[in-house]
Amino acid sequence: MDLTVLKESRPGENRVALSPAVVQSLVKAGHKIQVEKDAGLGSAFTNEAYQAAGAEVTDGTGLYEADLFLMVNPPEAAQAERFKKGSALMSFIYAAQNQELMDVLKGNDMTAFAMEEVPRISRAQSMDALSSQANLAGYKAVILGAEHLSRIFPLMMTAAGTVTPAKILIFGAGVAGLQAIATAKRLGAVVEVSDVRPETKEQVESLGGKFIEVKADNAVQVEGGYAKEVSAEFLQKQKEAVEKSLFQADLVITTALVRGGKAPVLITPEQVEKMKYGSVIVDMAVEQGGNCGLSEAGQVVEKHGVKIIGATNLPSTLATNASELYAKNIQNLFSHLADEKGFKYDMEDEITTGCMVNRGSNTSTNQPQS
């Protein structure tokens, strides 16, 4: 198949859809790959590295004649209009928030595979880009918090006295939260964790964190690893259980998201007023509305002596590793969906139907043989 890797158009985005290592693997498998000139520079992948891997590096019009277009972020609608009719797209798409793009893809009779819709099942773990990117984001959130904090993380005993360890509170024990716990513990901090899903307690404790438990029966509904619905009573109980830790914390990291909806507000402006002067909040959910009522996307603001970091696109700040992992996710999903003859379009496969957010008319032309 002919594959094209396009340069990202999102401002500040440093990632790229394929690494040279994965390009080399796909070329060996018989695929032809074009990479838009300079697409990998933000990830420290040079044009020469792609050429050595077997790709054609170009900025010509031939880029838009591929069978499959690969990106990290959703393409702009105007860019998608240039894609070859009947081709396919594989990237993060967020269809519900990008109706104009979806209209263009439908008009171009394109099949679209959304990386964020890959089912979170065991056999799709190697294709799960949300998890691979969240893992890195959780690590970077701790490093970012440490940079803005006016104290160190570990216990330190010196001739001048003992420095007590920093106290860190993490909201959410998903992939990002668990990596944040592990990173903070490695740096020597005391870590407490709050999550509405009681089943995460064992994972938190296995990493050395203290789980703040809230007792409630059937108060939380979980779907696809996300909290889908949480009762108001439970949220109030959680708020009361967490407040003592919140007001004593040096660093707070929030990671809580609701699938397909606005992120829940877990730290109110009134609570920020009661936090320690000089403490720091890293709000990783700010692009979905934010877990802190005072956070601003892409900004560091100070309120009542508390620094609040509206952390956006943290994986892009670790672009080399983020692109390497994302490229493997793409490769594994592509290998599952296609063979040497093209896409299989097995519409009885949970992974295929889960991530296919638009179905072109050509999806019935290459059904797998029984």
Interstrand relation of 156-158 and 161-163 (parallel, antiparallel or unpaired): antiparallel
Catalytic residue (choose from 34, 131, 132, 179)? 131
* Alpha carbons 271 and 281: distance in angstroms, whole number: 12
| Residue whose C-alpha is closest to residue 96's, from 259, 219, 252 | 259
Q: Is 295 helix (H, G, I), strand (E, B) or coil?
A: coil
| Residue whose C-alpha is closest to residue 327's, from 4, 23, 6, 7 | 23
H or E stretch covering 342? strand 342-343
* Alpha carbons 334 and 337: distance in angstroms, whole number: 5
- Is 94 an active-site residue? no
Residue 103 and residue 78 in contact, taking contact as beta carbons nearer than 8 Å: no
Catalytic residue (choose from 82, 120, 186, 359)? 120
How many residues are there in the chain? 370
Catalytic residue (choose from 24, 128, 195, 323)? 128
| Residue whose C-alpha is closest to residue 303's, from 328, 325, 270 | 270
Catalytic residue (choose from 82, 226, 245, 359)? 226
* Alpha carbons 256 and 266: distance in angstroms, whole number: 8
Q: Quick one: tokens of 95?
A: 């269809």
- Is 197 an active-site residue? no
Residue 180 and residue 254 in contact, taking contact as beta carbons nearer than 8 Å: no
Residue 151 and residue 250 in contact, taking contact as beta carbons nearer than 8 Å: yes
| Residue whose C-alpha is closest to residue 189's, from 161, 170, 214, 212 | 170
- Is 277 an active-site residue? no
- Is 316 an active-site residue? no
| Start-end of H helices in the chain | 20-28, 47-53, 77-80, 99-107, 129-148, 175-186, 201-206, 232-248, 269-273, 319-337, 350-355
- Is 283 an active-site residue? no
Which positions are catalytic? Answer: 120, 125, 128, 131, 226
